[in-house]
Chains A and B, each alone.
Chain A
Amino acid sequence: MLFPLPKIPFDLDVDENYVAGVQKGNASTFDSPRVRFVMRMPVPQFFANYVGRKLFRFLLTVQGLGAFALITLGVMIKKFGAARHVIRPLVYREISRSGVRLLPMFIFLAATLGLLIVGQTVSWGSKFGATHTVTEYLGAIMVIGVVRELGPLIAAVLMLARIGTANVVELGTARALGEVEALEALGIDPVHYLVVPRVIGMAVGMFALTVYLIIAALASGYLWAFLQNVPLRPGDYFGQLAAALNGLDFVLLACKTVAFGFIIAIVTCYHGLAQPLRLEEVSYATVRAVAQSVIACVLIDALFIVIYLAT
């Protein structure tokens, strides 16, 4: 054998276990050589090995992301209010970047979303002679389509595309150029300085943008219905919307959008910051972060559907 094989990642040998390394300060959850070993093994020849590898990778990713999320939450709580003259402007900048600056694009997409849903619904309604039913239930259809499902999910994907990818590239480049070590040398917690503002900014920005997107999509939906001669007065439309919405919708919408913003920020910051990177690895980290963010958002969405259906 040319190279000695490392021990398996979940070896409980205390000297080799990276918990001991973290306690001594010379290892981190995200930089275990054994984690890298599993990530970079050659493609296995057997399907069972391939599935096993994928399972290991999934577990390691979940473990890393979970640890990073807990560390970030811990820092947010422990250092709440610390260095506020430095951190607060960064938070405002992130809210602006993840919120206000994206508003025009979100409004445009909201208008398109309203057109898509109303256009398709009215078209199918007239095709099957159900125009009256469409008129009666258009508000409810918009609530189900826009408020409960497509609005938050589309907002999450857009936020990931515009801000999440930028996070990975910015942090990955900073990591590769040694800026994270520089922060540590200056006694500045990199999670506090680089991650916390992004997490807060994306969570707040995602909630605000989703609300604007939903309002704009509902409004544009009525506009398109009006242009397609659907016999529906504004008062009736808003009455249908109000009847279809309930208190749980507002609570779940708030929780879901904040969760989307939080998880996108965590996944993208994790891939940009947590693993030591070389410059040429930044693009791969971006690809991984986008894929994992999309999967995480869909899983969260599914979880909220289950919660909604169960209550």
Chain B
Amino acid sequence: MSASTETSTQFAIEMRGVSVASMSGLNSVIIEDVNWNVALGDFWVIGGWQGVGKTDFLMMTGGMMAPASGCYYFLGKEMPIFEDDRLADRLRLGFVFENGQLFNHLTVSENVSLPLRYHHNLSKADAAEETQRLLDLTELAPWADSTPGAMARNWQRRAGLARALILRPEVLLLDNPLAGLDLRHRAWWLNLLEQLARGHEWMNGRRLTLVLTTSDLRLWRGGARQFAILKDKRFLVLGDWQKAQASHDELVREFRASAVQED
């Protein structure tokens, strides 16, 4: 591999002057000039109203499309990674879709085990133990043999998380994980993601680097989280919650105002 496709830094994600195109129209740039570093073990929350391009930004970060311009390095390697011989690098990144995006022709258990079976060439029996552990962790065991259509969206999203975790990625991207969840599920997600960020047993105690999007920053206040917002094609890094609160940005003021009203 040429030297130009790698950096020596230990950032999980490193973007320099990155522009992001829309997945639905690759010629239209929806976010410009992103300069952003995510260190290993960081927990980043990216806020923004619906339609500003959070999902497109996350998909570009997940390597599903290339930046329209600029340089993006994931764990020191240039992204996106499409080559088969660099698949191992790509699998260090997990992605959780907003609606789970489960495979409807497979059962929940088959959905969760698919990446493990495909990449390690395992039979169902060989992957059963690992799959069961994740189903227990995500409380999906009762639905193991159901197809996704038989489950509520709350549970489908958990199955999407389990599928992303089965390969034990080093970085996990989550698209609006709390959107539309009831309070019980919301508390479960906040708790599990915090555990993953601190080093969960499933990850063998290794801290997972988390990047997620949200349309409500207030849900993520507290903890050692970093915040950024997407607005008017710009990516603004705010810093921790105190700095985010002190920000004079109009969008952050809007978030704060709605927080006061709700509190």
Proximity string of chain A (187-217) to chain B, C-beta cutoff 8 Å, 1 when within and 0 when not:
1100001000000000000000000000000
A49-108 residues with Cβ-Cβ distance < 8 A to B are 78, 82-86
**Is the Cβ of B101 less than 8 Å from the Cβ of A179?**
yes
**Is the Cβ of B68 less than 8 Å from the Cβ of A26?**
yes
Specify which chain B residues have a CB less than 8 angstroms from the CB of A119 in the assembled complex: none
Please report the C-alpha to C-alpha distance between residue A106 and residue B9 in the assembled complex, in whole angstroms.
Answer: 64
Which chain B residue has the least Cβ–Cβ distance from A33? B27
Specify which chain B residues have a CB less than 8 angstroms from the CB of A86 in the assembled complex: 114, 117-118, 121
Proximity string of chain B (104-139) to chain A, C-beta cutoff 8 Å, 1 when within and 0 when not:
110000000011011101110010000000000000
B71 close to chain A: CB less than 8 A: no
**Which among A82, A85, A173, A276 is the interface contact of B122 at CB below 8 angstroms?**
A85
**Which among B24, B64, B91, B122 is the interface contact of A184 at CB below 8 angstroms?**
B64
Interface of A is mostly: helix
Chain A CB within 10 Å, residue with most, of B68, B91, B101: B101
**Is the Cβ of A185 less than 8 Å from the Cβ of B82?**
no
B189 close to chain A: CB less than 8 A: no
Answer whether A181 and B64 are a contact pair too, CB < 8 Å, given A27-B26, A83-B118, A186-B115: yes
Specify which chain B residues have a CB less than 8 angstroms from the CB of A179 in the assembled complex: 101-104
Which chain B residue has the least Cβ–Cβ distance from A81? B121
B163-180 residues with Cβ-Cβ distance < 8 A to A are 163-164, 167
State the Cβ distance, A8 to closest chain B Cβ, in Å: 15
Interface size on B, residues (CB 8 A): 37
State the Cβ distance, B128 to closest chain A Cβ, in Å: 13
**Which among A174, A185, A276 is the interface contact of B104 at CB below 8 angstroms?**
A174
**Is the Cβ of A83 less than 8 Å from the Cβ of B64?**
no
**Which among A24, A82, A182, A188 is the interface contact of B97 at CB below 8 angstroms?**
A182
**Is the Cβ of A178 less than 8 Å from the Cβ of B97?**
yes
**Is the Cβ of B26 less than 8 Å from the Cβ of A21?**
yes
**Is the Cβ of A85 less than 8 Å from the Cβ of B26?**
no
Specify which chain A residues have a CB less than 8 angstroms from the CB of B97 in the assembled complex: 178, 181-182, 185
Answer whether A33 and B25 are a contact pair too, CB < 8 Å, given A25-B80, A179-B101: yes
Interface size on A, residues (CB 8 A): 29
**Is the Cβ of B114 less than 8 Å from the Cβ of A188?**
yes
Inter-chain contact count A-B, CB under 8 Å?
78
Please report the C-alpha to C-alpha distance between residue A156 and residue B138 in the assembled complex, in whole angstroms.
Answer: 46
A136 close to chain B: CB less than 8 A: no
State the Cβ distance, B94 to closest chain A Cβ, in Å: 8
Specify which chain B residues have a CB less than 8 angstroms from the CB of A186 in the assembled complex: 95, 114-115, 118, 163-164, 167
Please report the C-alpha to C-alpha distance between residue A77 and residue B35 in the assembled complex, in whole angstroms.
Answer: 41
A149 close to chain B: CB less than 8 A: no
B90 close to chain A: CB less than 8 A: yes
**Is the Cβ of B25 less than 8 Å from the Cβ of A187?**
no
A177 close to chain B: CB less than 8 A: yes
Specify which chain A residues have a CB less than 8 angstroms from the CB of B105 in the assembled complex: 170
Which chain B residue has the least Cβ–Cβ distance from A26? B66
Specify which chain A residues have a CB less than 8 angstroms from the CB of B121 in the assembled complex: 82-86
**Which among A31, A83, A174, A276 is the interface contact of B119 at CB below 8 angstroms?**
A83
A130-182 residues with Cβ-Cβ distance < 8 A to B are 170, 173-174, 177-179, 181-182
The 4 closest A-B pairs by CB, nearest first: A182-B101, A185-B95, A25-B66, A26-B66
Given contact pairs A83-B118, A85-B117, A181-B97, a sample of 15 additional A-B residue pairs in the complex whose CB atoms are under 8 Å apart: A26-B68, A33-B25, A84-B121, A85-B123, A86-B114, A86-B117, A179-B103, A185-B62, A186-B114, A186-B115, A186-B164, A186-B167, A187-B87, A187-B90, A187-B115
The chain B residues found within 8 Å of chain A, CB to CB, are 21, 24-27, 59, 62, 64-66, 68, 80, 82, 84, 87, 90-91, 95, 97, 99, 101-105, 114-115, 117-119, 121-123, 126, 163-164, 167
